Structure 1
Amino acid sequence: MSNDERPGPGHGQGPHNGAHIDFEVLGPALERGAELHLPLYEQAAAWLRELLVDTAAAGDQGVDRVLDIGSGPGVVSCLLAHAFPAAEVVAVDASAVLLERAHARAARLGLGDRVRTHLAELPDGLDALGGADLIWSARVLHHVGDQRAAVAALAGHLRPGGLLAVTEGGLAARFLPRDIGLGRPGLQSRLDAAGEEWFTGMRAALPGAVDDIEDWPAFLADAGLRTPRTRSFLLDLPAPLSAPARAYVQDTLALGLDLYGDRLDEDDHTTLARLADPDDAVGVVRRPDVFLLSAQTVHTGRA
């Protein structure tokens, strides 16, 4: 199970590409999850600023328009507005419910005049967006059947010198010690394997699915972008976790139980159900040994 939504709450359109999710229910968890990962996103935003400042110093235009594709509840949209204080930021998502949360969040943070929302599916529905100096898309493109074409579609909205940043991959998030004193040791690894099987099936079932090697720098190069760069950013929250972090892990395990619990044997299914139960004495919201360690990878290319 990883923090790039294979599956789990976080920034982006969610594990079913917005098709079968009740975002009235899931929206708060998505927002809490994205807030928990703000230290990681702040590192990434600082790196993007460095790349774009280098471009401006070379004589290209500054950053006055940012698109957050698959914005979800707008946590990163608002972060990007802070990182690029002269820019208009457009939060783009297929869920009107999540965009309402993005709008409300921007207003609470005093960014209502600079962060606006746009309802659109990816890759369709982007034509009305216009151009941008920075396009950010985090853990959304793997929910599109033809990922290479989706990258090209986003690249087509870059202004000259603009930067496309795609967050895909990284390392599967770790939550649990090898032996938790419940069920067989090594549960985390078996959950990862079940999540990978689920993810493969999800990808294969997408409309227009293309069986392509997931080489994101190559996708950027094929889209005509130059100077590709890749960096990974770490979130390291050691045990004992804060209450919000425990709630995030509980949300993630509960969603995993729903999506691929049937891929586990009876013993592991029972263990996962107990860990995900907020009322169980051995559940993750009560355990002192639960931690959160995750790495997310950002790939960039310049128009």
Structure 2
Amino acid sequence: MSGHQHQHGHGHHHGHVPAADFDWDALADHLEREAELRAPAVAAAAQWLRALPGADGAAVRRVLDVGSGPGVVAGQLADAFPEAEVVAVDQSAALLERARARSGGRLGVQQADLPAEFDKLGEADLIWSGNAIHHLGDQQAALTSLAGLLRPGGVLAVAERGLPLRYLPRDFGLGRAGFQARLDAAHEDGFSTMRAELPGATAEVEDWPAMLGRAGLVPGGTRTFLVDHPAPLARPAREHLHAQLSRLRDQLAGTLDPEDRATLEALLAEDAPTGILHRPDAFYLSATTVHTARRP
């Protein structure tokens, strides 16, 4: 379980099965860049969490980021809760080493293969899990396990879904208008297939507040935080979009019609003005939704 994918993100890596030939460093670069683009939304979410009953600074002594990836969000949680011990939790030792290095040793790290090793994580006053629960077959059981780690009064914050990324106008002069909506539809089918193939896959109506209630918690509110980088887009964001589109080509090319495949190739062209690396109309707009609940 690694929750370093942005919600509803196109072309991200699903199901981190450690393999000798998997390029973890390349993935870490991609995940870091994505998390840095989304940092303003997470910072706002962290300040909201600080204001929730049970999560005020004085009461929070230990924070877990479950599915932390390379530790960008965990570092932001450490900024928001400077009095607390903040621990990044992931199944990838390579990504946790990146988190430790990024933070200059400020973060604790804990390798855990979830859902089998929830009991390794210890108690916490605040648990953040961003786009990680959907990588576990039984999402309700995962929430119940996380709820069991909370100290009385502690808060669980689950960032899942939100709004899909938008980065070009509806009609951007290549192919048929509505290209991104068709990518969304293909991605949703792929996401459903990914979920169905997980060990212990369990169908669930993804009503997150209701699921948190069934985990024995008291829902504490849901808020959505905007990620808005307008055109003209800076080079790092363009490079990230290029990487996302490249992953998307690998994953979805077989499901796209020829016209949309040609549009995708044109966006990936590195030297052409039609490419995402050079277009003046490229932007980065998305939204992160955070659901919270408190242990009585």
Smaller-chain TM-score bracket: over 0.9
2:65 is equivalent to residue 68 of structure 1 = yes
**Residue 245 of structure 2: aligned partner:** 253
Please state how far the C-alpha of 1:169 moved relative to its aligned partner. 1.5
Superimposed CA distance per residue, residues 200-252 of structure 1 (whole angstroms, 9 cap, x where no aligned partner): 11111111111111111111000100143111110111111111111111111
Please state how far the C-alpha of 1:19 moved relative to its aligned partner. 5.1
**Residue 97 of structure 1: aligned partner:** 94
Q: Where do residues 115-264 of structure 1 align in structure 2 (5 Å cutoff)?
A: 115-264=107-256
Moved more, 142-151 or 118-127: 118-127
Superimposed CA distance per residue, residues 122-142 of structure 1 (whole angstroms, 9 cap, x where no aligned partner): 222121211000000000111
Moved more, 226-235 or 137-146: 226-235
Contact 2:11 2:251 in 1 (8 A): no
**Residue 15 of structure 2: aligned partner:** 16
Contact 1:220 1:228 in 2 (8 A): no
**Residue 264 of structure 2: aligned partner:** 272
Instruction: Give the total of aligned pairs.
Output: 289
Q: Distance in 1 between matches of 2:224 and 2:14?
A: 22
* Cα distance, 1:130–1:177 mapped onto 2, change above 3 Å: same
Q: Distance in 1 between matches of 2:67 and 2:269?
A: 30
Contact 1:250 1:277 in 2 (8 A): no
Task: State the one-letter code of the partner of 1:16.
Answer: G
Superimposed CA distance per residue, residues 56-96 of structure 1 (whole angstroms, 9 cap, x where no aligned partner): 77xx9710100000000000111111100111111001111
**Residue 55 of structure 1: aligned partner:** 54
Superimposed CA distance per residue, residues 146-201 of structure 1 (whole angstroms, 9 cap, x where no aligned partner): 10111111111101110000000111111111111111221111111111111111
Contact 2:179 2:260 in 1 (8 A): yes
Indicate the SS of the match to 1:55.
coil
Please state how far the C-alpha of 1:274 moved relative to its aligned partner. 2.3
RMSD: 1.8
Superimposed CA distance per residue, residues 249-288 of structure 1 (whole angstroms, 9 cap, x where no aligned partner): 1111111111112110111112112212333431101111
Identity score, percent: 53
2:114 is equivalent to residue 81 of structure 1 = no
Q: Distance in 1 between matches of 2:222 and 2:68?
A: 21
2:7 is equivalent to residue 4 of structure 1 = yes
Provide the TM-score with structure 2 as the length reference. Answer: 0.93
Contact 2:67 2:129 in 1 (8 A): yes
Superimposed CA distance per residue, residues 8-60 of structure 1 (whole angstroms, 9 cap, x where no aligned partner): 45xxxx42244565322211111111011110100100100011xx3377xx9
Q: Distance in 1 between matches of 2:84 and 2:244?
A: 33
Moved more, 274-283 or 192-201: 274-283
Task: State the one-letter code of the partner of 1:97.
Answer: A
Indicate the SS of the match to 2:48.
helix
**Residue 41 of structure 1: aligned partner:** 42
Q: Distance in 1 between matches of 2:205 and 2:266?
A: 37
Q: Distance in 2 between matches of 1:167 and 1:23?
A: 23
Indicate the SS of the match to 1:137.
strand
Task: State the one-letter code of the partner of 2:181.
Answer: S
Q: Distance in 1 between matches of 2:99 and 2:8?
A: 19
Contact 2:8 2:163 in 1 (8 A): no
Q: Distance in 2 between matches of 1:75 and 1:189?
A: 29
Q: Distance in 1 between matches of 2:271 and 2:30?
A: 18
Contact 1:146 1:208 in 2 (8 A): yes
**Structure 2: 5+ residue stretches without partners:** none
Q: Distance in 2 between matches of 1:185 and 1:254?
A: 20
